[in-house]
Structure 1
Amino acid sequence: MNPQPAAVLEFLHICENLKRTKRTGWINRNVNFPESISDHMHRMAIIALLLNDPSIDKDRCVKMAVVHDLAESIVGDITPQDGVPKEEKSRREQEAMHKLCKEILGETPQSQEIYDLWIEYEKAETREALFVKDIDKFEMIVQAYEYERSENRDLDEFFKSTEGKFTHPLVKSWVDELYRKRNEVRSRQEIRDGR
Structure 2
Amino acid sequence: MEISDRLLKQIEFIKEIDKIKYIQRKTKLFHSDRHENDAEHSWHLAVMALTLLEYADESIDLLKVVKMVLIHDIVEIDAGDTFIYDLERNHTNTDLERLAAGRIFGILPKDQADELITLWEEFESGQTEEAKFARAMDRLEPLLQNSSNNGGTWNEPGVSYEKVFAKKSVIKDGSTALWAYAEKLIDAGVAQGILKKQ
TM-score when normalising by structure 2: 0.73
Q: List alignment gaps of at least 5 residues for structure 2.
A: 194-198
Match of 2:109, SS state, is coil
User: Quick check: 1:135–1:171 contact (8 Å CA) kept in 2?
Assistant: no
The match for 1:106 among 92, 105, 109 is 109
Summarize the alignment of residues 100-139 of structure 1 with structure 2, pairs less than 5 Å apart.
Answer: 100-102=104-106, 104-108=107-111, 110-139=112-141
Amino acid at match of 1:128: E
Q: Aligned residues, how many? A: 177
Q: How far, CA to CA, are the matches of 2:138 and 2:10 in structure 1? A: 27
Amino acid at match of 2:118: D
- Distance 1:3-1:148 versus aligned 2 partners, 3 A rule: farther
User: Quick check: 1:48–1:62 contact (8 Å CA) kept in 2?
Assistant: yes
- Distance 1:175-1:123 versus aligned 2 partners, 3 A rule: same
Q: How far, CA to CA, are the matches of 1:86 and 1:141 in structure 2? A: 16
**2:180 is matched with which residue?**
173
Instruction: Give 1:158 shift.
Output: 7.3
Identity %: 23
**2:196 is matched with which residue?**
none
User: Quick check: 1:21–1:76 contact (8 Å CA) kept in 2?
Assistant: yes
Summarize the alignment of residues 30-179 of structure 1 with structure 2, pairs less than 5 Å apart.
Answer: 32-49=33-50, 50-52=52-54, 53=56, 55-79=59-83, 81=86, 83-84=88-89, 90-102=94-106, 104-108=107-111, 110-148=112-150, 155=155, 157=159, 160-164=162-166, 165=169, 166-167=171-172, 168-176=175-183, 178-179=185-186
Q: How far, CA to CA, are the matches of 1:21 and 1:51 in structure 2? A: 27
The match for 1:4 among 3, 6, 20 is 6
Instruction: Give 1:148 shift.
Output: 2.2
- Distance 1:180-1:159 versus aligned 2 partners, 3 A rule: closer
- Distance 1:86-1:148 versus aligned 2 partners, 3 A rule: closer
Which structure carries more strand by proportion? 2
TM-score when normalising by structure 1: 0.74
Which shows bigger deviation, 3-12 or 172-181? 172-181
CA deviations 1:126-165 (Å, max 9, x no partner) are 111112122211111111122228x8x9648376533151
User: Quick check: 2:105–2:117 contact (8 Å CA) kept in 1?
Assistant: yes
Which shows bigger deviation, 37-46 or 171-180? 171-180
Instruction: Give 1:7 shift.
Output: 1.9
User: Quick check: 2:45–2:137 contact (8 Å CA) kept in 1?
Assistant: yes
